[in-house]
Amino acid sequence: MASASDSDKPSGSKEEESRSRLCEEFAAITGTDSNAAQSYLFINGWEKQKALNSFFEADMEGIFEDFDLPQRDSCPETKKKNWEEEKPAEPSVDLTKDSPASSGKPSEEDDCKLSVISWNVDGLDTDNLGERARGLFSFLVLYTPDVVLLQELIPPYVHYLKKRAVSYLLIEGGEEGYFTGIMLKRSRVKLVESQIVTYPTTRMMRNLLVAQVDFNGQKLWLMTSHFESCKAHSAERMKQLRVVKQRMKGAPYDVTVLFGGDTNLRDYELTKVGLPASVCDVWERLGKQEHCRWTWDTKANNNNNAPYVSRCRFDRVFFRPAIKDGVPRLAPDHMALVGLEKLDCGRFISDHWGIYCSFSAG
């Protein structure tokens, strides 16, 4: 008769199935192949979180110098040549001033306009990450957006942004692995409260980051998320959309709500779940302009060297204006894709295009 401990052990087939599933989840989160996933999981006793921490810590070691992070000098006589030695040091930049694209004092109309960038910056791809992060920073200098909604941040990327973009407050949606973030221009947007909403059944460390802020005397709820990736995780992705939908719908009537992020949504998934009548998809509201349709486009973006053509509108912006009488109402008035130009390294800032939107008082 088998002992109690023996009977609790999974059968060979169940154990293989469990480990195969762990490999798939690890590969989806880290962007590695099944062999690398199996290696990290085996070394870490098939504990997924432990294996993920091991992977990200090892991966970050290789890019520390690109981000000018403190390094231990194992050889006092010979210091590593780092990114700051190869390129002139970038000063911290005060982005509260006028955009270089404009001149003179902003008009009262511009002062009431809300500008937003939403971007999956693909921090999990560590190739040329230093130059790609500088590319993102250059867009912040050029556009000086009031709000920046970011996905796939990793700790070194956060460190870099905090060091360079000193006139922004950066709210993090996590601490380990990869996560989302919201940047607020300190001179224009005041944080009231922030919250991380968990997705109970996510297998990819995904959540919803919410920031309640004050903008020009108006109450705003800002939201960003990175929904579950890959076609096979459609059901989980729609669950996550329902969480966002409920949060937007349940916001007080005197609050303007803005969500931007990498939803990974297919059109049929959005149609199946639907949006509240008060919430719009900004791209659709502005006339479904073709030049803004594809935010994931392997035909134009070769960062992943994909052997196939895939054009999807994964990145979306949803908006619900305040609906209480007497409260100023914002409305979307402009949308454009950003990051379409290659950097000197021959790659783009990300494998996603960023979305720039502006909203004016209606």
**Looking at the annotation, which residues are catalytic?**
262
Which long-range contacts (C-beta less than 8 Å, at least 24 apart) are formed by 347-350?
347/127, 347/128, 347/131, 347/132, 347/302, 347/303, 348/132, 348/301, 348/303, 349/119, 349/121, 349/132, 349/135, 349/136, 349/139, 350/119, 350/120, 350/121, 350/122, 350/132, 350/136, 350/303
Residue 184 to residue 210: CA distance in whole angstroms: 12
Q: How far apart are the first and last CA of the chain?
A: 77
* Of 293, 322, 290, the residue nearest 221 (C-alpha): 322
How many other CB atoms sit within 10 Å of the CB of residue 328? 14
Q: Residue 106 gets which letter from DSSP?
A: P
Q: What is the DSSP letter of 76?
A: T
- Virtual CA dihedral for 323, 329, 333, 336, nearest 10 degrees? -70
CA 77 to chain centre: 40
- Give the single-character DSSP code of 137: H
User: How far apart are the C-alpha atoms of 234 and 230, rounded to whole Å?
Assistant: 8
Beta pairing, strands 189-198 & 255-262: unpaired
Q: What's the DSSP call for residue 2?
A: -
Q: Positive or negative CA dihedral for 231, 236, 239, 241? A: negative
Q: What's the CA angle centered on 40, arms 38 and 41, to 5 degrees?
A: 65
